[in-house]
Amino acid sequence: MPVSSQDSTHQPGGLNLDPWYDNYARRTAGLTVSEVRALFAVASRPEVVSLAGGSPFVSALPEELIHRAFKRMMKEHGAEALQYGGGQGIVQLRERILDLMAIEGITGASADDVVTTTGSQHAIDLVTKLFINPGDVILLETPSYVGALGTFKSYEADVRHVDMDEEGLNLEALEAAIHKARAEGKAVKFLYTIPNFNNPTGVTMSAARRREVLDLCIREDVLIVEDNPYGLLYFDEPAPNAIRSLDEDHVLYLGSFSKILSPGVRVGYVLAPHGIREKLILAVESSILSPSSLNQWLVTEYLEGSDWRAQIDTFRGTYRERRDAMLLALEEYLPQLSWTVPNGGFFTWVQLPQSLDSKQMLPRATKELVAYTPGTGFYADGRGHDKMRLSFSLPTPERIRLGVRRLANVINGELEIIETFGSFDNRSADDGRFASAPPDLN
């Protein structure tokens, strides 16, 4: 019960200064400040080389393309772009989305089964809202996307990691996790997977494994939520076809324009089994009435009036060069560590010596003017202290090299201290000074 402003001495909720503290819904216990929230502020100081964050390099997009799309939009669809639209999203955009999905093997889909959203994060939120009662089980990779974990927790899901091998989700582990949850009387609501250039690991699920995971999920009646924002950003060979290309009834497919065009427009989409599609539209309406008509038309005109395939090639070239710079620098400066070799996307995942704690090391790293994302944020169960995610999407190759060199100094310095004084646990590292920084949650 809140206190009136006259009575500011009574503090409900113990030491909490928020008078509404006791009024929040139970689910807000899962709404905690992300471990990587701090990094945005740090990363935005120009002297820091940020290997944290997951921001695309939007400067690789000629602004002229946006100007042109905007002009076309205002000329042809100005009034519509400024008005409310339908909850499902505009049909012209949904039809262009079919072209995009076809590149990853999804053919024969209908624009009628596509729903557009405010970025794919919004899609993750809505799907979770549709399916999760408190305590229901969501299965996912080890580790997995921090933004999805946060959303799952905000609906009080019981989030369970499934072990991986080099081909992606381990089949036996997946089957065992399903059976274990059911034996406990739990409902397994869906498997959330990022099969291409996973965030954070950069790992891609093999074609054979996709088939096997799908077959298992069909056999066990488990819905697959396939989240694929990076699929078109491959470096060497294209990734295998989407799981959704193999089955339309058991897969809910999420895509996004954030990484192949711009996250500033916040346009994502879902291709859903028919019955779910219907409910998703209601969920969109209940959440925001309708996605931004202006942004949807802008993306539509961009797709219709520009060579967007060539633009994706440009992005791929940029990110490939940066990936190469990252891997070379790791080999040069940190040869004693191991890391994943991503064939696309934005990230590599680094294994540190067990004695290091990447979260506790972060303040020291930022003092040395380099930032990264600590591993723990990508686990629902507290693991990951000896892992870190390095992102190569935003800094130039030279800056990546500089960043990794600085990182090597930090890591080697920490290892020396530990050799001399023992492990981290005796020292306090997180001094809370990042607490009010703006977030970078992806």
Ligand X SMILES: Cc1ncc(COP(=O)(O)O)c(C=O)c1O
Bond from prior residue into 134 cis (ω within 30 degrees of 0): no
- Our CB check for ligand X shows the closer of 72 and 343 to be 343
Distance, CA of 287 to CA of 161 (rounded, Å): 29
Stretch in the footprint of ligand X (CB under 6 A) among 113-121, 321-329, 408-416, 417-425: 113-121
Residue in 242, 241, 289, 300 with CA at minimum distance from that of residue 267: 300
Q: Which residues lie below 8 Å from residue 422, measured CB to CB, with a gap of 6+?
A: none
Q: Which of 19, 240, 268, 384 binds ligand X (CB under 6 A)?
A: 268
- Our CB check for ligand X shows the closer of 55 and 92 to be 55
Q: Which residues lie below 8 Å from residue 327, measured CB to CB, with a gap of 6+?
A: 339, 341, 348
Residue with tokens 């560590």: 337
x/- mask, its own copies, residues 84-123, rule CB under 8 A, reads: xxxxx-----------------------------xx-xx-
85 binds ligand X (CB under 6 A): no
Number of residues that bind ligand X (CB under 6 A): 16
Angle at 331 between CA 161 and CA 56, to 5 degrees: 60
Q: Which of 199, 258, 366, 391 binds its own copies (CB under 8 A)?
A: 258
Distance, CA of 132 to CA of 188 (rounded, Å): 9
The interface with ligand X within residues 388-407 (CB under 6 A) comprises none
The interface with ligand X within residues 179-208 (CB under 6 A) comprises 194, 199
389 binds its own copies (CB under 8 A): no
Choose among ligand X, its own copies, none what residue 369 binds, the Cβ cut-off being 5 to 8 Å by kind.
Answer: none
34 binds its own copies (CB under 8 A): yes
Calculate helix-pair angle for 63-82, 293-305, nearest 10 degrees: 130
Look up residue 170 and give its two tokens: 């381990």
Q: Which residues lie below 8 Å from residue 248, measured CB to CB, with a gap of 6+?
A: 109, 273
Give me the DSSP letters along 51-66.
--S----GGGS-HHHH
Choose among its own copies, ligand X, none what residue 310 binds, the Cβ cut-off being 5 to 8 Å by kind.
Answer: none
The interface with its own copies within residues 210-229 (CB under 8 A) comprises 218-219, 221, 223
233 binds ligand X (CB under 6 A): no
Distance, CA of 18 to CA of 34 (rounded, Å): 20
147 binds ligand X (CB under 6 A): yes
> What is the rounded radius of gyration, in angstroms, for the C-alpha atoms of the chain?
22
18 binds its own copies (CB under 8 A): yes
Q: Which of 289, 341, 429, 435 binds ligand X (CB under 6 A)?
A: 289
* Interface contacts to ligand X, rule CB under 6 A: 54, 119-121, 145, 147, 194, 199, 227, 229, 256, 258, 263, 268, 289, 442
